[in-house]
Chain A
Amino acid sequence: MVRQARSEATRRKIMTSAVELFNEIGYPATGLGDIIERAEMTKGALYYHFDSKESLATAIIEEGSVRLAEAFRGIAASSAPALETIIHGVFVVADLMSTDQIARSGMQLLRAFGEFNDAAARTYDGWVTEMTERSRQAIDEGDLREDLDPQAVGETIVSSMLGAELLASASTAGADVLERVARAFKVLLPAIVSQESLSYFDEFLARESLRHSAAPAAD
């Protein structure tokens, strides 16, 4: 039991050190030797947990995805209409991405590995499925136009949010991701929201952006 806890702590330490280095000098430039040095571990300890740099990256992608998915599910209470959950959820996830190192690093690795890595495919699929399901529900609830294909809406939302994250990452190291997400929704919503619900969601989005741009001491 004690041994298991210690082994888990070692694994965490290795992952955190790797994330720090990936952030500082990038994935390609980081060698396993650098990680061992940063984590103050032996080579044996690292190889016990990860057999390659790629398996370490996969673990970071998975851990990051789990954190983001949990954040989304945490806010997806059934008392809220689905489109509110989609919008609010995307903001919460984007916020976590800019504050949680592992989640952020996971996203960057996801992009780097894209098509070669199973974890990447699973993560993207998971988000599209989730958003498609909620879009279907939002169509039923009358908030999204009824002539839309839920799958197409789900894919469009995930694509534009990933795009917003990519641009934010490239131009401001992720600092303005929330503003970009808000702008993307501002353009997207009039195209997909039903006529009756549009003015409500206009306001919903405005409140959401306002809340997230407020000083961090807001709570």
Chain B
Amino acid sequence: MTEHLDRRADTTRVQILRAASRQFARKSYSLVSLDDILADAEVTKGAMYFHFPSKYALASAIIEHRIASARTSIDELLARKLSGLETLIDISYLLAIEDMGDETARAGLNLLQSIGRTDGLQEDVLGQWVTAFAAITRKAARDGDLIADRDPEGIARLLVSMYLGLRQTSSLAQPERLLHDLENMWLLVLPGFVKPDRIAYLNQFIKRRTAVALKKATSL
């Protein structure tokens, strides 16, 4: 009996999260009202407050959800056992595709950039992101792809900053443009830390990834 109830509560929670993601993916945090979410989720106010006491709690839950799903995607990519640099490039394309076509993914990053700034959440999440990228960058160094004495942590920070900037300056609604910008970004930064004799191959790798991504990408 309780199990049954729990499951129903779970469904309600998922329903609310989905509706909220739809809203937060398309509108900024301050423009989304709880009433919009209630109407979209088709749940009562009571049910909503049972799961999420505030708009802020709801937003944090979406960010958490996004972090968990990004971690799964990244683990899957790591399981492919490619070289460190190829893995970093693949991750950037994967994040871009999810950011363009998946509501929770889009909402998660939108919210992180708008509400996470003041309460340490952004610092915490981006810190984890940088740490994960730095570990993969160190693998790239062991693969022999990096110029000696380049700092993996610094490279990781640069890559994270660039993607977060790219999603603002380019257009998530136009896959062709965003992927083109992402490709350009990689082609421009690689010579900053990759050994000159590895660049020709990686440039081709990037262009091939753009071609595959263009076929897969969808937009909200």
Residues of A participating in the B interface, judged by any CB pair closer than 8 Å: 74-75, 77-81, 88, 92, 200, 203-204, 207, 210-211, 214, 218-219
CB-CB under 8 A from A81, the residues of chain B are: 208, 211-212
Secondary structure dominating the interface of B: helix
Q: Interface majority SS on A: helix, strand, loop or mixed? A: helix
**Which residues of chain B come closer than 8 Å to A219, judged between CB atoms?**
139
Size band of the B side of the interface?
Answer: 20 to 34
Check if B79 sits within 8 Å of A80, measured CB to CB: no
A219 to B90, CA, bound (A): 18
Asked if A88 contacts B80 (CB within 8 A), the reply is: yes
A79-B77, A80-B212, A88-B81 known; 13 new pairs, CB 8 Å cut-off, are A75-B79, A75-B80, A75-B81, A79-B216, A80-B80, A80-B90, A88-B82, A92-B81, A200-B205, A203-B201, A207-B83, A207-B201, A214-B143
Q: Mark B202-220, 1 if CB is under 8 A from A, else 0.
A: 0011001101110010000
Contact digits for B110-149, partner A, Cβ 8 Å, 1 yes 0 no: 0000000000000000000000000000010011100000
Which B residues lie at the A interface, using CB under 8 A?
76-77, 79-83, 90, 93-94, 139, 142-144, 200-201, 204-205, 208-209, 211-213, 216
Chain B residue at smallest Cβ distance from A78: B216
Q: Are B76 and A77 in contact (CB under 8 A)?
A: yes
- Knowing A79-B209, A79-B213, A200-B201 are in contact, say whether A74-B142 is a contact too (CB < 8 A): no
Asked whether B79 lies within 8 Å of A74 as measured between CB atoms, the reply is yes
Can you offer 27 A-B residue contacts whose CB atoms are under 8 A? A74-B80, A75-B80, A75-B81, A77-B76, A77-B77, A77-B90, A78-B212, A78-B216, A79-B77, A79-B90, A79-B94, A79-B209, A79-B212, A81-B211, A81-B212, A88-B80, A92-B81, A200-B204, A203-B200, A203-B204, A207-B83, A207-B201, A210-B144, A211-B83, A211-B143, A218-B139, A218-B143
